[in-house]
Amino acid sequence: MAPRRKPEASRRGSAGGHASSERRTGRTVGELDEGRLLEAAGSGDRVAQQSLTRAHLDWVTAAARERAGRGLSEADLFQEGTVGLIEAIRAFDASRRADFETFARESVAGRMEEALQAEERAVQDSQRLVQAASDYAAAEMALRRELQRGGTAVELAQKLEWSVERVREIAQMVDDARRRHDEELLQYLEADGIDLETLSEDRRSDDVG
């Protein structure tokens, strides 16, 4: 009896069995040709980029944990580092660098450090604005006592040794903050059913009494 011929589809599947098996079993990058994946990732292959990203996220986690507490949370740093890792994966093939791990770690660390520095600058800017607002409010009160009226922008600028433009900028910021405070207070009183007119009348009565 003649042996049965193997179906054509089966022969094709056997020839490409290794690649299809890798796809089905989800083998790690360590078991595949990392150089081939990096080359594909550099050409825009999103599957290769995702595979490499997943395989090296442990670097990102460790780097984020080391830098947590310096102004950003570990979760925020992890996100920044992941972006750095993806950028390294996409750029490595064109970089002509020999060692991907070193290249990627530099990218991850650089992205995190940039984010930390940006956060530090933002905090410093915020602190300076708070101090400026405090100085403005103090100068405003001092001039009101001295002049028995509100100071002009020019007068405030002279007292604070600021430019008139800066006085107007900080004045706008202070006015906005005061308005938000008043609105929040009003919402709080209304939520508790407090009648502002009744309060005013009661206080006037107390003053008369």
Angle, helices 17-25/8-15, rounded to nearest 10 degrees: 70
For residue 5, pLDDT over 50 is answered with no
Confidence of residue 2 (pLDDT cuts 50, 70, 90): very low
For residue 13, pLDDT over 60 is answered with no
Cα four-point dihedral sign 15, 19, 25, 27: positive
Helix or strand holding residue 81 (H, E):
helix 74-95
- Residue 191 is predicted with a pLDDT of 59
What's the mean pLDDT in 48-53? 88
For residue 31, pLDDT over 80 is answered with no
* 108 exposure class (CB count in 10 Å sphere: 0-12, 13-18, 19+): buried
- Residue 16 is predicted with a pLDDT of 39
* 135 exposure class (CB count in 10 Å sphere: 0-12, 13-18, 19+): middle
Q: Which of 21-30, 48-57, 125-134, 158-167 has the lowest mean pLDDT?
A: 21-30
Confidence of residue 45 (pLDDT cuts 50, 70, 90): confident
Q: What is the pTM of this model?
A: 0.61
Average pLDDT, the chain: 79
What's the mean pLDDT in 170-179? 88
Confidence of residue 44 (pLDDT cuts 50, 70, 90): confident
Compute φ and ψ for 93, nearest 5 degrees: -60, -35
Residue type (1 letter), 131: Q
Is residue 155 within 8 A of residue 168, CB to CB? The reply is no
- Residue 118 is predicted with a pLDDT of 95
- Residue 33 is predicted with a pLDDT of 74
- Residue 91 is predicted with a pLDDT of 87
Query: What CATH class does 32-121 carry?
Result: mainly alpha
Distance CA 56, CA 101 (A): 9
What's the mean pLDDT in 78-92? 92
